[in-house]
Amino acid sequence: MSNVLVTGGAGYIGSHACKALRNAGFTPVTYDNLCTGWEDAVKFGPFEKGELHDRAALDAVFETYKPVAVMHFAALSQVGDSMKQPGQYWHNNVGGSLVLFEAAIAAGCLNIVFSSTCATYGEHDNVLLDETIEQRPINAYASSKRAIEDMLQDYENAHGLRNVIFRYFNVAGADPDAEVGEFHQPETHLVPLMLDAIAGKRDALTIYGTDYDTPDGTCIRDYVHVCDLVDAHVLGLRWLLEGKESRVFNLGSGTGFSVREVVDQSRAVNNRAVPISEGERRPGDCTKLVSGSTRAEKELGWTPTRSKMDTMIADAWKWHQTGHYDR
């Protein structure tokens, strides 16, 4: 069985990717420093604890496992936090990726599946966000991701480091078997915070800004189920292993939901009111991010099956009730 090195495999998306890889016949080797991940989320293959900046540790992992590819999820990923401490994002995300790519090239592992973000597009009024749109990030998280995309381009030109870049829209939901799910400490994402508020684990969900230029004044995002998202990664991996050219793909559902609409959908799923408070805008938030591309469907053959909002909330709620949040 082929090994795939999964950086950030102990995190939310990485752990789901490990399950998808295992189910597709690969062995996922998690490389994670557990700064935001959880060792008990590593269930589908070996675990190597380490830093992206630790070149010697990475060299040893490449030597031991001889992976056919790297799926690179490990990153700091909070928009608000990135505005307060941009240096951490440049150091960890950009600097760490640089060391990882150098190690991969030295080991002859020249296939990278990289997790990027739709936040690299920034603000575009009334323009469909497809992969050809100019990237104009407005927060340090997105700037760091765009820098890594640029780095990959340069490394491909110089060293043949082939890559599939996925620009995620908003990832939500959980493994329907509830083996893994979303848990960040501290939590900053809308769906888990909303479920916490419903379950009485926090007083209320604060809506960050109600004066945006949208129909109900709250930000609009495109939500995609984590299981659909990681299925695309397996397709991206196969794409590279088949020798196809490097490519960028948006991963979104193509449908926008405002924060208030997500809250309303939640009420429909579990019949419980979400306690709400209205707060200030969060620095760095774009007004609207919705994918306008079907490239992943057309070229990769990606067919999302769980990315309806009610399914995502129901799966997240099922995971929430397992008590994994009660650490």
Annotated catalytic sites, by residue? 141
Nearer of residues 188 and 322 to ligand UDP, judged by Cβ: 188
Q: How far is the CB of 106 from ligand UDP (least distance, A)?
A: 33
Q: How far is the CB of 132 from ligand UDP (least distance, A)?
A: 22
Give yes or no for a contact between 79 and 282, defined as CB atoms under 8 angstroms apart.
yes
**What phi and psi, each to the nearest 5 degrees, are found at residue 210?**
-125, 15
Nearer of residues 25 and 186 to ligand UDP, judged by Cβ: 186
Q: Alpha helix (H) ranges present in 51-183?
A: 55-65, 79-84, 86-89, 96-107, 140-159
Give yes or no for a contact between 10 and 40, defined as CB atoms under 8 angstroms apart.
no
Joined together, the tokens standing for residue 195 give 């479920």
Q: How far is the CB of 164 from ligand UDP (least distance, A)?
A: 21
**What phi and psi, each to the nearest 5 degrees, are found at residue 159?**
-125, 5
CA 208 to chain CA mean position, Å: 21
Residue of this chain nearest to ligand UDP (CB atom): 219
Question: Please, which residues bridge with residue 251 across strands?
Answer: 168
Closest by Cα among 20, 13, 76, 10 to 46? 10
Residue with tokens 């991963």: 251
243 Rama sector, left if φ>0, alpha if ψ -120 to 50, beta otherwise: left
Nearer of residues 93 and 111 to ligand UDP, judged by Cβ: 93
Q: Which residues bind ligand UDP (CB under 6 A)?
A: 79, 170, 188-190, 193, 205-208, 219, 221, 259, 282, 285
Q: How far is the CB of 258 from ligand UDP (least distance, A)?
A: 8
User: How far apart, in whole angstroms, are the C-alpha atoms of residue 287 and residue 217?
Assistant: 9
Q: How far is the CB of 193 from ligand UDP (least distance, A)?
A: 4
